[in-house]
Amino acid sequence: MGNIASCCVSPSGSPKLPRQVERLEDYQINTDLSDDTGPYLQHISDREVPDDLALESNPSDHACASTIFLSKSQTDVTSFCKRIKCWSFLKVSPGLLSKKYSSCSTIFIDDSTVSQPNLKSTIKCVTLAIYYHIKNRDSDRSLDIFDEKMHPLSREQVPDDYSRTDPEHKLIYRFVRTLFSAAQLTAECAIVTLVYLERLLTYAELDICPSNWKRIVLGAILLASKVWDDQAVWNVDYCQILKDITVEDMNEMERHFLELLQFNINVPASVYAKYYFDLRSLADDNNLSFPLEPLSNERAQKLEAISRLCEDKYKDLSRVAMRRSFSADNLVGIRRSNAVLS
């Protein structure tokens, strides 16, 4: 967006470029002044969404609102829990337990944290959230810019039933995994991608469906990589990953995506943390465990060193706080007097 090759208008020219050459009268501002008022400017309160409505409709903007993908996954999770209860009632094992538990001899630790999520597990959870968005959608509202039939990503012929067949989770995972591996994107970028996707569905009142999921996901990844990563991937680089797409098409899709987001690309830390922990909840509900690694001696020594460093730091802070609390008494010295008992 700040680069020449990745901005909305490429040097070679976009097919929509002639739109910018329009009559000057279309951009003239009404400067007629009345007797007691100046030019009309919309007040900021008229543009803001009320708090009660914002919490319900904009989960990608407010940390208190529940995420859309988690609510859409509840129906399938409920049926899954019923199957588990049925298995336990009939004394039928659902399969081998994949979850590892710590013991006296072995301790398993989870390296995935909110600041450094595990890449593979995060992509699995994000694609699972997209899968539930498609499967439990309310309707098929879409735009032509995201339609794969009108803007194909490859030269292969799009099937006739492309808009009626829901993609499997494995297909969504392979598509996103290929983009992240080729562009060397981080796990944090995957979480921001999901935030932008749900913000697009909320702002533009769209549905992610079989006919548009690839281009919507691609646009969200494109935007998230530019906002999150310091060294962003240019649009021309995505054209090398997806061989049959043009830079002009990428620029046009990026411009539409930003306009539909109303250029709101801010992701507060509280919203990011909410999406991360909701993805962890989604993984637990669908029996997707984050990788647990046994605690090695080398890792244990590093954790112990970090713990000691933090402990010494907090001790120094507590001593400074104690000195500050006695600063007024130190002006005249701390005096102790004997108690008088009567």
End-to-end alpha-carbon separation of the chain, Å?
81
Average pLDDT over residues 88-114: 58
Task: Tell me: pLDDT of 32 over 80.
Answer: no
29 falls within a domain:
no
Question: Is residue 163 very low, low, confident or very high in pLDDT (cuts 50, 70, 90)?
Answer: confident
Q: What three-state secondary structure class fits 294?
A: strand
Q: How far is the CA of 89 from the CAs of 80, 81, 219, in angstroms?
A: 14, 12, 46
> Beta partners for 108?
294
Better-predicted residue by pLDDT, 66 or 230: 66
Question: Is residue 50 very low, low, confident or very high in pLDDT (cuts 50, 70, 90)?
Answer: very low
Looking at residue 144, the DSSP 8-state letter turns out to be G
281 falls within a domain:
yes
Task: Tell me: pLDDT of 174 over 90.
Answer: yes
pLDDT for the residue numbered 212: 93
pLDDT exceeding 70 applies to what percent of the chain? Answer: 65
Give the number of domains in the chain. Answer: 1
Better-predicted residue by pLDDT, 131 or 17: 131
86 falls within a domain:
no
Task: Tell me: pLDDT of 68 over 70.
Answer: yes
310 falls within a domain:
no
**Structure-derived torsion over alpha carbons of residues 298, 303, 306, 307, reported in degrees to the nearest 10:** -140
User: Which residue range(s) make up the domain with 259?
Assistant: 119-152+165-286
Tokens at 209, concatenated: 């469906």
pLDDT for the residue numbered 301: 82
Residues 62 and 267: their CA atoms lie apart, in Å, by: 10
Nearest Cα neighbor of 218 from 167, 169, 180 is 180
pLDDT for the residue numbered 102: 60
173 falls within a domain:
yes
52 falls within a domain:
no
Task: Tell me: pLDDT of 266 over 90.
Answer: yes
Average pLDDT over residues 287-299: 75
CATH number of the structural domain spanning residue 246: 1.10.472.10
The chain-wide mean pLDDT, for the chain, equals 76
Residue 211 and residue 242 in contact, taking contact as beta carbons nearer than 8 Å = no
Exposure letters 314-327 (e unless 16+ CB within 10 A, then b)? eeeeeeeeeeeeee
Better-predicted residue by pLDDT, 98 or 253: 253
